[in-house]
Amino acid sequence: MGPISNSSSLTAAEAGLVSCHSCRLLCRAGDQVKSGHPYCPRCHAPLHPRKPASLSRTWALVLAAMLLYIPANVLPITQTTSLGHTQSDTILSGVVYFMISGSWHIALIIFVASILVPLVKLVVLIYLLLSVQFKWLWRPRERTRLYRLTEAVGRWSMVDIYVVTVLVALVRMDALASVTAGPAGLYFAAVVVLTMLAADSFDPRLIWDTAKERK
Amino acid sequence: MVKATAATAYIACPACDLLHLRRPVPAGTTARCTRCATPLYRNRGRSLEWPLCLVLAASILFAISNLFPFLTLKIEGRTEETVLMTGIMALYHQGQLGLAALVLLTGLVCPLLQLVGYVYVLLSLHTGAGSSFAAEAYRWVRHVQPWSMIEILLLGILVSVVKLAGMAEVMPGVALYAFMILIFILPAAMVAIDAVSLWDRFPIAAA
């Protein structure tokens, strides 16, 4: 390996190295291809310089999540039967219920986790995909930070699924009161899972690769 | 501890691929990428025993929170006790197979795999050099980790309690208290481990 200063301007790819996605060991790209076993010698993960087919995989997952976001919000997520009277609630009407009944902090949690986070996550991922696709140079550092934030925050959308699970478990009094999960639950769960997979398949190093190419 | 070679003397930023020379940082601090500020590695001290203790404690708390009742609901004299499995079974009986499977995976199976995996990996490193099987196990545990969502599950439980408070009497069970401690212990264990320095303990196979 050549002399590299503490913070070089050289990337692993430019130095002919592959950083293992799993354990981050630096491996010589040439050695691995020659031996016919592109696996990390420490953790046995398959080695590749960038996540494979990152852009097309992320696009596919994002588009699927966008489509499912519609039934997730339009269809009822819970059906509550209380003394013969049945009420269907969508995610949004659940938020409104909490606001009216005075639990505005709960309304805020559900609104942020179930409506805002998935939506913002999709918008951010589309923006990042477009920025790489069209080789935009604008603020790579901020775009990287945006990506890390999106990746970290996405799992919290699962909170509504757990609320439905606990309600369904507890309120099973048959004629007196019962809660059943509505069809939106599965669509919403799919949105959360797909956006998590989409964030995972996006490779932030592509942001920096294009910045370098243009120079 | 494996001797530093060219392969471990440098590290590439996971977010922008820039190479950095690995220099020791003061205890408790994080080395960040000079170009994009993404954390590269942390100095958590050399001890394996501390995260191991935390993970073992978390395993006990996890067992308690799944074996004892979580919440008890009282409506007009009738009581209803629940564990997490009750909710999953209720979803399953309503024909919500997908939701039941997802809650089972993220609330029970993945946390269990995470705990068992970390106990195994830390114990095998504690008793000697990491085997190739332990390296494989650690790699899989890190894949499972984002899907282990107990802290989100607890938030969901608290939200449901508020929602039900109006229509019934809800009493917290032993499991809920165990769970509340667990969601502090498990993240503390994860924070006590720096992945880069843990990987340093595993041998690198000769090419």
| A2-50 pLDDT, tens digit each | 334 455 678 888 888 889 988 999 988 766 555 566 888 888 888 888 8
Which residues of chain B have a CB within 8 Å of the CB of A177? 75, 167-168
Closest CA to A74 of A93, A97, A50, A95: A93
Does residue B1 carry a pLDDT above 60? no
The stretches of chain B forming alpha helices (DSSP H) are 6-9, 49-67, 84-93, 97-104, 110-127, 132-144, 150-165, 174-191, 195-200
- Residues 55-74, chain A, touching B (beta carbon < 8 A): none
- The values of phi and psi at residue B22, to 5°, are -80, 115
**Residue A35 sits at the chain B interface (C-beta within 8 Å):** yes
Q: Cβ distance B2 to B201 under 8 Å?
A: yes
Q: Cβ distance A12 to B19 under 8 Å?
A: yes
Give the pLDDT confidence score for residue A99 in this predicted structure.
Answer: 87
Give the pLDDT confidence score for residue B6 in this predicted structure.
Answer: 63
Q: Cβ distance B32 to B40 under 8 Å?
A: yes
Q: Residue A56 is encoded by which pair of tokens?
A: 């097309």
Look over chain B and give the mean of its residue pLDDT values, rounded to a whole number.
88
Virtual CA dihedral for A110, A112, A118, A124, nearest 10 degrees? Answer: 180
Tell me the shortest Cα–Cα distance from A215 to chain B, in angstroms.
16
Q: Cβ distance A37 to A27 under 8 Å?
A: no
CB pairs A-B closer than 8 Å: 220
- Length in residues, chain B: 207
Tell me the shortest Cα–Cα distance from B60 to chain A, in angstroms.
23
**Partner residue opposite A176 with nearest CB, options B8, B75, B146:** B75
Q: How big is the CA angle at B30 (ends B146 and A158), to the nearest 5 degrees?
A: 20
Burial A158-173 (b: 16+ CB within 10 A, else e): bbbbbbbbbbbbbbbb
Look over chain A and give the mean of its residue pLDDT values, rounded to a whole number.
86
Q: Residue A116 is encoded by which pair of tokens?
A: 């805002």
Task: Say how far apart CA B154 and CA B71 lie, in whole Å.
Answer: 12
| Listed range (A77-91, A131-145, B109-123) with the worst mean pLDDT | A77-91
ipTM (interface pTM): 0.87
| For residues A45-64, average pLDDT | 93
- The values of phi and psi at residue A174, to 5°, are 50, -110
Task: Say how far apart CA A208 and CA A135 lie, in whole Å.
Answer: 10
In angstroms, how far is the first alpha carbon of chain A from the final one?
A: 25
Q: Looking up tokens 């309690």, which residue turns up?
A: B161
Q: Give the three-class secondary structure for B170.
A: strand
Answering whether pTM is above 0.80, one says yes
Q: Cβ distance B168 to B75 under 8 Å?
A: yes
Q: Sort A151 into a burial class: Cβ within 10 Å, 0-12 / 13-18 / 19+.
A: buried
Which residues of chain B have a CB within 8 Å of the CB of A4? 10, 19, 21
